[in-house]
């Protein structure tokens, strides 16, 4: 049968495609590549930290490694991960449209992303940058002798990719919904992508402006951020975090959307408190714009500003907690099955909760002064970014894999990888909370000997975590050729994307759908998700 | 010949999507310029004397004429959009060419002004020179001035190019009463460039003139 994958096999049909599904797959391939580069940098970092002495790389190389890790993971993996891969693939199908509103812009977004990615990664690998992913001034403008200009140029270019994609999603969700698909019937994944897109569209231009000013200062040696020349380095931090704190929510909101889809599907229940969960995404996006100053508690900004930012940061926990409580309430008395995507989703809820609660500690002024720039902060945001977002991304990839590829992946391998990732992750990052609380600062390649045990634990955990990442590459790849052919709706899930064939045709639907019910119309009569007959784990649970 | 792209149900949906798309893009532009305007406000607050001096060194005549030129171009643009709505292709072309022409006049005057600044050693960097105390604060004023006005000029250059393309296509009868989204969307963009100048002009030229 004709579908979007086998319609045309020529390379040009991929490189010039306007099909949102193919562009989603292009993004998936590209960010996997960037993930490997960022992951290799992290591997060397963890190897260096096995021993207290700096014996694997020099301090300079170490600086370049953590910069490379941060820059690639933030801008070239996490930010585009769920929005550009799953968002691209799913949004038009979930709202019953033939494509995004602006397919050509969508393709342009991928090319801009690749151009930016190549420029930055080339700079990071060939010369290296030693400023950290935050590029703080005046170090980045006046003192660093590394490849700051090309690295930032790539980030600048990739920013326009973010803007185009966010804009495309907003217009599509506003204008292209199927008849009967009201806002309150939208899947929550669409709500979170909508909230994410608002951040992409409103925050990214500020990053572009900031990066532009930084580059001008570095090239013309004018002190817009350099205090020696009358500039104000705090202004850089304000502008940078005005983008980069909302960007943190770009890196978690879509994960929350995926989790909402997975938990309802594998509990066979409508989401508890749909309306509150939907609005909480918008609340996170809006309040997220007002909390950037909590990155600057020890920077010398005024104490009063610090107090206000602290208070506002506590406020973000309310909509976040609404989501966690409502996911838990959805599980209550649900008909739960522990398929691979569900394991990732449950992992997400637990790890996100730990990441979120430790965020409250960091939002408190006094505690933040104590743990600022320590491994406590590293552990906190990795619980959100990796434990949260990457778990959700992998959960989503598994959940929609039959739809993307038309094949079923081996369920027992999937479960094994999901559990491995959960344990590996905790072993890697939980010791870092303790290390940070005991006072180990971030960004040093040496440390006092008494920290070694915890660091070795963390490095061992990273090995397990790496295995958890690599396994899916193998069995998902294997399933493309040898996996069982997937039916249209293997999970017996609701949602428009499951009403079309797996894989779908190029314009998604043979007959354009009309919507008469909410996104999660699960009842006690809804059959359970497909049981995989040759899977011993499925029967055991 | 149909103008309906395959992802849309009808022309109205397509038109609405195009308009909302441009508005969202303009929102990103507001934030883009917003960073620069914030930098201006912060340094104006920190260095009021130097910034007053900077405003006094501006040639107000250039600024005034350019403001008038740009506002007039927006009038022609608005008329072009009206003409497009009733399907008068030739009129649209004539009005759009006038719009782009005035845009070019603005850019010409701006480059004369830049030439004068550079002649007076006011371009930030190694060549910057001022006899006044706190020269580095005045240099910051010029830095932000050049960054903001050059970014504005870049937008205007892109605008002129787009307007000329649309004018050429309008002359060939590409637009009709049913289908004129490109003209309307370009109009939104053009007016936005105009509005940005309406903010930049008083910030750099007028504030501080009176004292």
- For A222, the token pair is 């004018």
A484 in contact with chain B, both atoms CB, cutoff 8 A: no
- What is the structure's pLDDT at A539? 44
Could you tell me the pLDDT band of residue A316, with boundaries at 50, 70 and 90? Answer: very high
Could you tell me the pLDDT band of residue A180, with boundaries at 50, 70 and 90? Answer: very high
Judged by DSSP in three states, A533 sits in coil
Residues of A in contact with B7 (CB under 8 A): 92, 97-101, 103, 176, 507
Smallest Cβ distance to B34: which of A103, A206, A216? A206
pLDDT, one tens digit per residue, over A193-220 is 999 999 999 999 999 999 999 999 888 8
- What is the structure's pLDDT at A535? 52
**Which of the 8 DSSP states describes residue A484?**
P
pLDDT, one tens digit per residue, over A319-331 is 999 999 999 999 9
Which B residues, 106 through 145, put their C-beta within 8 Å of a C-beta on chain A?
124-126, 134, 136-137, 139-140, 143-144
Q: How many residues does chain B have?
A: 211
- What is the structure's pLDDT at B34? 94
Interface probe for B, chosen from A200, A212, A230 (most Cβ of B below 10 Å), is A230
Judge whether residue B143 has pLDDT over 90. yes
Q: Determine the Cα–Cα distance for residues B85 and B66; give it in Å rounded to an integer.
A: 29
Residues of B in contact with A232 (CB under 8 A): 42-43, 46
pLDDT, one tens digit per residue, over A51-88 is 999 999 999 999 999 999 999 999 999 999 999 999 99
Report the DSSP beta bridge partners of residue A374: A441
Q: Determine the Cα–Cα distance for residues A463 and A424; give it in Å rounded to an integer.
A: 7
Measured on CA atoms in the order A340, A341, A345, A347, is the torsion positive or negative?
positive
Q: Determine the Cα–Cα distance for residues A451 and B55; give it in Å rounded to an integer.
A: 58
- What is the structure's pLDDT at A534? 46
Could you tell me the pLDDT band of residue A531, with boundaries at 50, 70 and 90? Answer: low
More confident site: B125 or A257: A257
Are the Cβ atoms of A171 and B21 closer than 8 angstroms?
yes
Are the Cβ atoms of B7 and A205 closer than 8 angstroms?
no
Residues of A in contact with B31 (CB under 8 A): 202-203, 205-206, 209
- Residue with tokens 């634990």, as numbered in its chain: A457
A208 in contact with chain B, both atoms CB, cutoff 8 A: yes
- What is the structure's pLDDT at B211? 60
B69 in contact with chain A, both atoms CB, cutoff 8 A: no
Judge whether residue A147 has pLDDT over 50. yes
- What is the structure's pLDDT at B133? 83
Q: How many residues does chain A have?
A: 541
Give the ipTM.
0.93
Quote the percentage of chain A above a pLDDT of 70: 98
pLDDT, one tens digit per residue, over A2-50 is 899 998 899 999 999 999 999 999 999 999 999 999 999 999 999 999 9
Are the Cβ atoms of A224 and B46 closer than 8 angstroms?
no
Smallest Cα distance from A288 to chain B, Å: 16
| Burial status of residue A36 (CB atoms within 10 A of its CB: 0-12, 13-18, 19 or more) | middle
Phi/psi-derived region of residue B179, left when phi > 0, alpha when psi is between -120 and 50, beta in every other case:
beta
- What is the structure's pLDDT at B6? 87
For B209, phi then psi, to 5°, come to: -65, -40
Average pLDDT over residues A150-156: 95
pLDDT, one tens digit per residue, over A380-421 is 999 999 999 999 999 999 999 999 999 999 999 999 999 999
Are the Cβ atoms of A206 and B126 closer than 8 angstroms?
no
Which B residues, 20 through 49, put their C-beta within 8 Å of a C-beta on chain A?
20-21, 24-25, 27-36, 38-39, 42-43, 46-47
Q: Which residues contact A430 (CB under 8 A, 6 or more apart)?
A: A379
Could you tell me the pLDDT band of residue A460, with boundaries at 50, 70 and 90? Answer: very high
Residues of B in contact with A210 (CB under 8 A): 35
Judge whether residue A541 has pLDDT over 70. no
Smallest Cα distance from B5 to chain A, Å: 9
Q: Determine the Cα–Cα distance for residues A137 and A471; give it in Å rounded to an integer.
A: 41
A231 in contact with chain B, both atoms CB, cutoff 8 A: yes
Judge whether residue B132 has pLDDT over 90. no
Secondary structure element (H or E) that encloses residue B143, with its range: helix B135-171
For A310, phi then psi, to 5°, come to: -60, -50
Residue B155's closest CA among B95, B117, B114, B110? B110
Could you tell me the pLDDT band of residue A538, with boundaries at 50, 70 and 90? Answer: very low
Are the Cβ atoms of B28 and A201 closer than 8 angstroms?
yes
Nearest CA in chain B to A105: B21
Secondary structure element (H or E) that encloses residue B12, with its range: helix B11-46
Average pLDDT over residues A258-282: 96
Average pLDDT, chain A: 94
Could you tell me the pLDDT band of residue B39, with boundaries at 50, 70 and 90? Answer: very high
Q: Which of A274-278, A379-383, B97-101, B174-178 comes out lowest in average pLDDT? A: B174-178
Are the Cβ atoms of A99 and B7 closer than 8 angstroms?
yes
Q: How many CB atoms lie within 10 A of CB B176?
A: 14
Q: What is the DSSP string of A148-206?
A: HHHHHHHHHHHHHHHHHHHHHHHHHHHH-PPTT--GGGS-HHHHHHHHHHHHHHHHHHH
Q: Determine the Cα–Cα distance for residues A110 and B4; give it in Å rounded to an integer.
A: 24
Distances (CA, A) of B183 to A91, B78, B87, B92, B153: 29, 10, 11, 9, 21
Judge whether residue A536 has pLDDT over 90. no
Secondary structure element (H or E) that encloses residue A124, with its range: helix A103-126
Nearest CA in chain B to A211: B35
Judge whether residue A465 has pLDDT over 90. yes
Nearest CA in chain A to B22: A167
Report the DSSP beta bridge partners of residue A407: A485
The size of the A-B interface in CB pairs under 8 A is 109
- What is the structure's pLDDT at A358? 96
- Spatial contact of A9 and A95, defined as CB atoms under 8 Å apart: no
Judge whether residue A250 has pLDDT over 90. yes
Smallest Cβ distance to A205: which of B28, B43, B137? B28
pLDDT, one tens digit per residue, over A81-96 is 999 999 999 999 999 9
Are the Cβ atoms of B25 and A167 closer than 8 angstroms?
yes
Average pLDDT over residues B139-156: 95
Smallest Cβ distance to B140: which of A221, A231, A239? A231
B190 in contact with chain A, both atoms CB, cutoff 8 A: no
More confident site: A98 or B132: A98
- What is the structure's pLDDT at A533? 42
Smallest Cα distance from A419 to chain B, Å: 41
Judge whether residue A273 has pLDDT over 70. yes
- For A352, the token pair is 């996100």
Secondary structure element (H or E) that encloses residue A288, with its range: none
Nearest CA in chain A to B16: A175
Q: Determine the Cα–Cα distance for residues A295 and A309; give it in Å rounded to an integer.
A: 9
- What is the structure's pLDDT at A537? 47
- Spatial contact of A260 and A277, defined as CB atoms under 8 Å apart: yes
Smallest Cα distance from B171 to chain A, Å: 25
Are the Cβ atoms of B39 and A167 closer than 8 angstroms?
no
């Amino acid at each position: 049968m004709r579908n979007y994958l086998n319609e045309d096999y020529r390379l040009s049909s991929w490189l010039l495609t306007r099909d949102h599904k193919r562009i989603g797959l292009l993004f998936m391939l590209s960010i996997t590549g960037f993930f490997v580069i960022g992951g290799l940098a992290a591997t060397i970092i963890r190897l260096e930290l096995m021993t207290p002495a700096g014996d694997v790389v020099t301090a300079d190389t170490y600086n370049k490694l953590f910069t490379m890790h941060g820059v690639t993971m933030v801008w070239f993996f996490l930010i585009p991960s769920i929005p550009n891969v799953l968002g691209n693939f799913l949004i038009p199908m979930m709202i019953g449209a033939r494509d995004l509103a602006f397919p050509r812009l969508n393709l342009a977004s991928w090319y801009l992303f690749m151009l930016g990615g190549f420029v930055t990664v080339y700079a990071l690998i060939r010369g290296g940058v030693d400023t950290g992913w935050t590029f703080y001034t005046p170090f980045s403008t006046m003192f660093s002798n590394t490849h700051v200009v090309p690295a930032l140029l790539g980030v600048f270019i990739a920013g326009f990719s973010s803007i185009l994609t966010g804009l495309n999603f907003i217009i599509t969700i506003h204008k292209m919904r199927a008849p009967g698909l009201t806002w309150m019937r939208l899947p929550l994944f669409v709500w979170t992508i909508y909230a994410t897109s608002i951040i992409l569209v409103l925050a990214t231009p500020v990053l572009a402006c900031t990066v532009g000013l930084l580059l001008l200062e570095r090239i013309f040696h004018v002190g817009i951020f350099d205090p020696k020349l009358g500039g104000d380095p705090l202004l850089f931090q304000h502008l940078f975090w005005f983008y980069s704190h909302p960007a943190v929510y770009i890196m978690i909101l879509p994960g929350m959307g995926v989790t909402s889809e997975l938990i309802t599907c594998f509990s066979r229940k409508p989401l508890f408190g749909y309306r509150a969960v939907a609005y909480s995404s918008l609340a996170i996006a809006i309040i997220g714009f007002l909390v950037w100053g909590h990155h600057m508690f020890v920077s010398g900004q005024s104490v009063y500003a610090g107090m206000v930012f602290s208070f506002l940061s506590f406020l973000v926990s309310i909509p976040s907690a609404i989501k966690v409580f409502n996911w838990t309430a959805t599980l209550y008395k649900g008909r739960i099955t522990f398929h691979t995507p569900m394991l990732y989703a449950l992992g997400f809820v637990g790890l996100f909760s730990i990441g979120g609660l430790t965020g409250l500690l960091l939002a408190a002024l006094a505690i933040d002064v104590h743990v600022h720039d320590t491994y406590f902060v590293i552990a906190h945001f990795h619980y959100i970014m990796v434990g949260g977002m990457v778990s959700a991304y992998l959960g989503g990839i598994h959940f929609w894999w039959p739809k993307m590829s038309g094949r079923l992946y081996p369920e027992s391998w999937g479960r094994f990888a999901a559990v491995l990732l959960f344990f590996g992750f905790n072993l890697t990052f939980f010791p870092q909370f303790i290390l940070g609380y005991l006072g180990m600062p971030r960004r040093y390649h040496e440390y006092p000997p008494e920290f070694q045990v915890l660091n070795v634990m963390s490095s061992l955990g990273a090995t397990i975590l790496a295995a958890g990442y690599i396994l899916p590459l193998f069995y998902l790849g294997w399933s493309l050729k040898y996996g069982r052919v997937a039916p249209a709706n293997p999970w017996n899930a609701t949602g428009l994307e499951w009403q079309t064939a797996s894989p779908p045709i190029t314009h998604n639907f043979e007959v354009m759908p009309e919507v008469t019910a909410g996104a999660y119309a699960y009842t006690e009569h809804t059959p359970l998700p497909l049981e995989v007959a040759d899977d011993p784990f499925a029967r055991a649970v | 010949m149909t103008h309906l792209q395959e992802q849309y149900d009808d022309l109205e949906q397509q038109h609405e999507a195009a308009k909302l798309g441009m508005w969202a893009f303009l929102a990103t532009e507001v934030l883009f310029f917003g960073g620069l305007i914030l930098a201006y406000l912060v340094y104006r607050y920190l260095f009021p004397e130097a910034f007053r001096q900077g405003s006094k060194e501006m040639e107000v005549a250039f600024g005034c004429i350019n403001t008038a030129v740009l506002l007039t171009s927006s009038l022609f643009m608005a008329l072009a959009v009206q003409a497009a709505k009733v399907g008068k292709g030739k009129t649209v072309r004539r009005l759009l060419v006038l719009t782009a022409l005035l845009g070019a006049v603005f850019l010409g005057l701006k480059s004369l002004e830049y030439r004068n600044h550079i002649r007076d050693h006011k371009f930030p960097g190694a060549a910057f020179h001022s006899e006044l105390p706190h020269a580095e604060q005045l240099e910051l004023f010029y830095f932000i001035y050049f960054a903001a006005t050059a970014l504005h000029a870049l937008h205007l250059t892109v605008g002129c190019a787009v307007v000329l393309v649309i004018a050429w296509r309008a002359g060939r009868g590409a637009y009709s009463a049913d289908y004129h989204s490109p003209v309307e969307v370009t109009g939104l963009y053009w007016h936005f460039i105009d509005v940005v100048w309406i903010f930049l002009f008083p910030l750099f030229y007028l504030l501080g003139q009176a004292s």
